[in-house]
Amino acid sequence: MNFLLLAKELGGQFLESGEVLNYPGIIKTTGVEFESVMEKQLKFNEVEPKTGEEVKKIEKINDGFTVTTDKNRYDARTLIIATGARPRKLDVSGEYEFAKKGVTYCSICDGPLFFGMDIAVIGGGNSALEAVDFTKDIAGKIYLINRGKEFNAHEYLIEKVKSYENVEIIDQADTTEILGDKFVTGLKYKRNGKMHTLEVGGVIIEIGRIPNTDFLKGFLELDEHNHVVVDCRGKTSVEGVFAAGDCASGHEYQYVISAGQGCMALLKSARYLANKKL
């Protein structure tokens, strides 16, 4: 097959993951180590990704599709969409002002910057608890601010986080403002109708992800959360287009699921091309 792997950058979710404990055949690794192994496998199979380009639009043409990036145009007979997802924002005062100045969405990337500082982690899912787990030996005190009453995460993660002496859990709390001067100095949250202020030097926001599918609106059918609608074979609403991973419907964000969906999409796209030649 003559194929092209287009990517704005390699790594994606790998670069934001802490411990990986649930991938078959791998007892324990980190996202960064896992990404390194995958990159070596690409090189072994002589796959040279074209990076540094962002897809802006896809159009149907007579015998396939035209993919338009911010730099070039490419024609293809079949497509696999695997664009993943990006962090969801709080959209509160100070969040954008102090981005990369104490506000981060990636504990793996920026956690070491908070050495010895008191920090806040905002969220109640797996990614938030993973952020706490990663920074527990880096930060001073960690305030885990959860909007809900319970965590929506794996039980083993919940047990681990609750056992850490330097973690204080604040549930049923809405973060309303991030404070700072040149860098983050604190945040405000509302709980039981009362406003509270915390003095922290860093804020890690982990409140979910938004699929990277904006460029597909009007081209593919998306669900109510803007994930690409796919069937069990990875087929989308447009013949010849397949999707896999966090950008696709399914709402179960696991590496093993993304890998399986990617494999299915590749096999079905190859069969689609073979049938077109008959």
Q: Are residues 164 and 96 in the same domain?
A: yes
Q: Are residues 98 and 193 in the same domain?
A: yes
Task: Residue 216: name the closest of 245, 194, 240, 247 by CA.
Answer: 247
Q: Are residues 181 and 105 in the same domain?
A: yes
The mean-pLDDT minimum among 53-67, 136-150, 181-195, 243-257 falls in 243-257
Structural domain range at position 57? 6-86+210-277
Q: Are residues 103 and 201 in the same domain?
A: yes
Q: Give the model's pLDDT for residue 158.
A: 97
The whole-angstrom separation of Cα 243 and Cα 54 is 17
Indicate the pTM of the whole model: 0.79
Q: Are residues 78 and 215 in the same domain?
A: yes
Q: Give the model's pLDDT for residue 12.
A: 84
Q: Give the model's pLDDT for residue 278.
A: 66
Task: Residue 160: name the closest of 139, 131, 189 by CA.
Answer: 131
Q: Give the model's pLDDT for residue 19.
A: 75
**Residues tagged active-site:** 106, 109-110
Contact predicate 205/104, CB 8 Å: yes
Examine residue 1 and state whether it is found in any structural domain, yes or no.
no
Mean pLDDT of 189-203: 97
Q: Are residues 60 and 36 in the same domain?
A: yes
Task: Residue 105: name the closest of 13, 199, 16 by CA.
Answer: 16
Q: Are residues 186 and 53 in the same domain?
A: no
